[in-house]
């Protein structure tokens, strides 16, 4: 069993031993060269379901950094929330008990892993607010190449729960997609 550090917590995970099955040497090399790779099957169905439920709870209980990107007149809702891992049990469960920490360490060739932040995005169907192309690096306060972002799509099966950030909602609207973004930072081995 391996140990990783996420923030100030040491994390022991039953998944660490099997995480190497997700990350082969050619994937690490591709990540180092291109800065991006597609990884499938890193999370189990149960872990994705845990994230789905956690996102639903987060939407009903937004954190202090939550924001709505869509306008009041917009028929859809586009919202995001940041840095909730310490209060959303489902995020904690997946962050501390899945293979993500070990996968991040392998991709970064790092002996340690620290969670930098979590970021949830939900955009309802028919939301008119565009998501402009952008590049985060100019305002990110992380320097170096030992960073990993996991963009985890969560196909939500239920309607968006009514959050304290109300918007017009059509009962015929399909369930909005949700993404959980986890940013990790490491140190060289």
What residue ranges do the domains of the chain occupy? 41-129+144-156+175-188
Distance of alpha carbon 161 from alpha carbon 116, whole angstroms: 27
Q: For residue 44, which of 88, 99, 6 has the smallest C-alpha distance? A: 99
Backbone CA torsion sign across 40, 18, 143, 115: positive
Distance of alpha carbon 154 from alpha carbon 92, whole angstroms: 16
Helix (H) / strand (E) containing 111: strand 110-123
pLDDT for the residue numbered 44: 93
The CATH code for residues 41-129+144-156+175-188 is 3.10.129
Q: What is the mean pLDDT of residues 10-16?
A: 46
pLDDT for the residue numbered 111: 86
pLDDT for the residue numbered 97: 94
Q: What is the mean pLDDT of residues 170-183?
A: 60
- State how far the alpha carbon of 146 is from the alpha carbons of 45, 104, 114, 127, 189, in Å: 28, 9, 11, 35, 11
Q: What is the pLDDT of residues 114-166, one digit of tens each?
A: 888 899 998 887 888 887 777 776 777 777 778 888 989 886 544 444 444 43
């Amino acid at each position: 069993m391996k140990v990783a550090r996420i923030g100030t917590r040491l994390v022991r995970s039953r998944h660490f031993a099997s995480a190497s099955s997700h990350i082969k040497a050619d994937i690490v090399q591709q990540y180092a060269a291109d800065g991006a790779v597609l990884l499938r099957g890193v999370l189990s169905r149960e872990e994705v379901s845990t994230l789905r439920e956690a996102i639903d709870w987060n939407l009903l209980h937004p954190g202090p950094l939550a924001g709505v990107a869509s306008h009041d007149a917009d028929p859809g809702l586009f919202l995001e929330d940041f840095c909730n891992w310490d209060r959303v049990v489902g995020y904690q469960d997946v962050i501390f008990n899945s293979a993500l920490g070990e996968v991040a360490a392998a991709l970064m060739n790092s002996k340690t892993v620290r969670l930098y932040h979590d970021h949830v995005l939900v955009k309802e169907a028919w939301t008119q607010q565009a998501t402009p192309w952008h590049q985060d690096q100019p305002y990110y306060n992380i320097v170096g190449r030992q960073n990993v972002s996991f963009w985890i799509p969560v196909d939500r099966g239920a309607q968006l729960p009514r959050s304290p950030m109300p918007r017009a909602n059509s009962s015929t609207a399909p369930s909005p997609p949700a993404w959980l973004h986890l940013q990790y930072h490491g140190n060289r081995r």
